[in-house]
Amino acid sequence: MREPTIAERYARALLDIGVDRGNFEQLGRELDRVKGLFQSDELTELFRNPKFDAETRKQVLAELLRRVMVSPVCRNFLFLLVDRARIRLFPAIVDSYHELADEHAGRLRARVTVARRLSEPDAARLKTVLQKVTGRAVLVEQLEDPNIIGGVITRIGGKIYDGSVRAQLDALRAGLVTGA
């Protein structure tokens, strides 16, 4: 069994708080809203540049958190990360949090790559099939990649199912080259 990373340990601690309070799903949504803020180059610079002290960082963070409206638990968690110089791990903590929350809730996340976005009925059918195959609730995230030409590549539970036209063409090409 592998040792949990620092990000996983922080995520576990926050999840435990959320489970105890019955709001772990809400905390996950709050973390996503805050993670969106970290797409800003200016904010990234603030947390990377050593010339900014913890108090300055917390003041800026406090103002930003008022705009995205997070709970005191989330705010205090972020301040703790600043105080312990772990805020740079925040995106990894959010990813770990979602993995742990999904595990706690008994669901899986499926990352589905398609040439173009699936219609609602097709996405619902795919979700139903994935739930039947796995026996668990599945959250489906669609990614678009026109290079796959058509079909679907599904990543779920550490496995990849490649049903793309690109993979089928590659297999056909390999078979023709080897004479099989």
Residues ≥6 apart with Cβ < 8 Å to 148: 113, 114, 115, 164, 165, 166, 167
Positions in the chain whose pLDDT score sits under 70: 1, 179-180
Domain boundaries, the chain: 6-103, 107-178
| Domain 6-103 grouped into CATH 1.10.520.20 | yes
**Whole-angstrom distance, CA of residue 74 vs CA of residue 96:** 15
pLDDT for residue 46: 84
Instruction: Output b/e per residue, 44-63; b: 16+ Cβ within 10 A.
Output: eebbeeeeeeeeebbebbee
Closest residue by Cα to residue 134 from 163, 118, 158: 158
Query: What is 107-178's CATH number?
Result: 3.40.30
**Whole-angstrom distance, CA of residue 119 vs CA of residue 138:** 17
pLDDT for residue 158: 79
pLDDT for residue 45: 84
pLDDT for residue 175: 85
107-178 matches 6-103 in CATH topology: no
Q: What is the pTM of this model?
A: 0.74
- The β-bridge relationship of strands 159-164 and 137-144 is unpaired
pLDDT for residue 180: 58
pLDDT for residue 1: 66
